[in-house]
Amino acid sequence: MQFDFTCEWQDSPTEVRLPAHRSTWADLKIAVDDRVFTSNEPLVSDDEDAGSRDFIAVSVFPLAEFIAANWWPLLHEPQEKEGLLLDASAFKQRHWINKHTDGFAYPTLGFFGADTSVRIVARPSHIESANIEFPVSSGSANVHWNGVERNDVESALLCFLVATAERLPANDDKTWLQDLIARINHARTDQDEAIYCRCAGLLGADPFEPGDELYTAITRTIAVLGQDVAMEIFATAEVANVASRAQWLQDQTRSVIRKSREVAAHAGELKRRLQASRPQAGKPWERGYAVAQQLRDLLGMAPDRPMSTVDAVTRTLFDAPATVVSSIKHLESNSGARGVACESRAGLGIAMQSSRMPQFQLAATFADFLFSGDGGLFLSTGASTDRQKTNRAFAAEFLAPIEGIKDRWSAKKMPNTNFDDIASQFGVSPYIVRYQVQNQAEHLLA
């Protein structure tokens, strides 16, 4: 996908008084491919020539302030975290560009972290005081989102910040913005600082905020869980509770998960046999699909063979009954994880929150064990990290292979009927079948 962030400088209207606003007046266009998020038209107009435009005429200094001040959480903190917060008001303030406009009319547009990509979300809106509405291209009332390559987004936004700073008069605004640009550039080139800034962004925090609270939260969590797993938890938590969540998760995995040498031996053998052919390149979901297909082939499972119960999944993956899986109450709300596995000398244990799609979470958690290297803790979360995208793609393909879906698809039925019927046959949610078709066999919907 191509990220289009175009800023064409213009002379400001005479009524604009603040120097920062006058010097940064521009026609601003934001789009992904052919979806133009700044597309707008008047709410009411007596002018027959007044019509839709694909840009907004505004001072872009408020937008530059917003992006620079929120850079790390804006581009790293995932959208899924919003549902895990008791109070999401601060979360919204650091992601939606229309929350800081100095009175100018901006579209309802949000930026969210999705690991190596950035999710851009646009919602139709109208601003009566400015007599303007943003239909988000299609005019639909639905939320639209796209994942765009992180490097493309960061490069475009940095160029915008630099160009905006150059147009500002020599004053405190210019100095402040140039200082933040320097910090952003340094954090993108220094490896250690880049990791710390990413951790802070995942937590919704500014890595350069004063005080020791953020540093302590990050270092304590990494000490408990290790860096890789800690960063997955950062994507589901906030600074104030992340260290306690990490400790709670470690305590639960030690005390609740049943260990089994037999389970570890069987699962470990599957992992070893898959490692040699496991793809290292490609999109995260592509790797997930490929390994799921390889595992089913390794086990001699036809694509149309369902595993419609937890017992069927555990006997396939662990050569053990469903009792091998433990249950942890309030797992996601207390730790951000939906499923966890723990490996030690005693064996391998696995647990999840029993009320949430048991077969899917079980397969997604097992995927984390398959794809991860050495380490004692593996987990499935709802975050938009590449690790979790791989896990979820594996689970979808392992439980409802796309070739099996194609075999069961009926051209005589409506798509939603096919989703429901095929899902019941495979024992999965209709949403899983829907996403499988949309991502791997969209021609079925034609």
Average pLDDT over residues 11-35: 94
220 pLDDT above the threshold of 70: yes
For residue 325, give the amino acid letter: V
**Largest distance between two CA atoms of the chain:** 78
DSSP alpha helix (H) spans, 70-206: 71-76, 89-93, 150-167, 172-189, 191-202
pLDDT, tens only, 85-122: 878 899 999 999 999 999 999 999 999 999 999 999 99
* Residue-level pLDDT at 255: 84
* Residue-level pLDDT at 142: 57
Considering only residues 278 and 140, tell me which one the structure prediction assigns the higher pLDDT.
278
pLDDT, tens only, 282-313: 889 999 999 999 999 999 999 999 998 999 99
Residues 6+ apart with CB under 8 A from 251: none
68-90 burial, b if ≥16 CB within 10 A, otherwise e? bebbbbbbbbbbbbeebeeeeee
DSSP alpha helix (H) spans, 84-144: 89-93
Residues 6+ apart with CB under 8 A from 391: 288, 364, 365, 367, 368, 371, 380
Among the residue ranges 222-231, 233-242, 276-285, 329-338, the one predicted with the least confidence is: 276-285
**Residue 274 in contact with residue 288, Cβ under 8 Å?**
no
CA 221 to chain CA mean position, Å: 21
339-357 burial, b if ≥16 CB within 10 A, otherwise e? bbbbbeeebbbbbbbeeeb
pTM of the predicted model as reported, rounded to 2 decimal places: 0.89
User: Which residue matches tokens 């194609």?
Assistant: 406
Nearest to 309 by CA among 199, 409, 191, 428: 428
Query: Which tokens belong to 110?
Result: 């949000």
